[in-house]
Structure 1
Amino acid sequence: MNPITLMIIYLTIILGPMITMTSNNLLIMWVGLEMSLLAIIPLLMNKKNPRSTEAATKYFITQATASMIILLVIMLNYKQLGTWTFQQQTNTMLTNIMLISLSIKLGMAPFHLWLPEVTQGIPMLTGLLLLTWQKIAPITILFQIYYLLNTTITSIIAMLSILVGAWGGLNQTQTRKIMAYSSIAHMGWMLAILPYNPNMTLMNLSIYIMMMIPMFLMFSSFNSSSMNSISLMWNKNPTIPMMISIILLSLGGLPPLTGFLPKWAIITELLKNNCLIITTIMAMMALMNLFFYTRLIYSTSLTTFPINNNSKMLYHHNNKKLNYIISMLMIISTLTLPISPQLVT
Structure 2
Amino acid sequence: MKTFHNEEIYIKTDNFSDSIFKESTMFFDIETTGFSPVKAIVYMIGCARRIKNRIVIDQYFAESPNDEAAVIEAFAGSLSGCSTIISFNGVGFDIPFLKNKYKKYKQEDPFCNVQILDIFKELSPIKPLLCLENYKQKSIEAFLGIDREDKYSGGELINVYYEYLAQKDDEKLSLLLTHNYEDVLGMTKLLSILSYKECIHGIADITGVSVNPYTAYDGSLMNELIISFENKFSVPKSVSFHDNDIYLTIGTTKSYVRAEIFEGEMRHFYSDYKNYYYLPKEDMAIHKSVAAYVDHEYREKCKAYNCYVRKTGTFIRQYSDFMKPEFRFDIKDKYSYFLLTEDFINSKQMVLSYVKHITAHLFNL
**Normalized against structure 1, the TM-score is what?**
0.22
More strand by share: 2
**Normalized against structure 2, the TM-score is what?**
0.21
Q: Which has the higher contact order (CA 8 A, sep 6+)?
A: 1
Q: Which has the larger radius of gyration?
A: 2
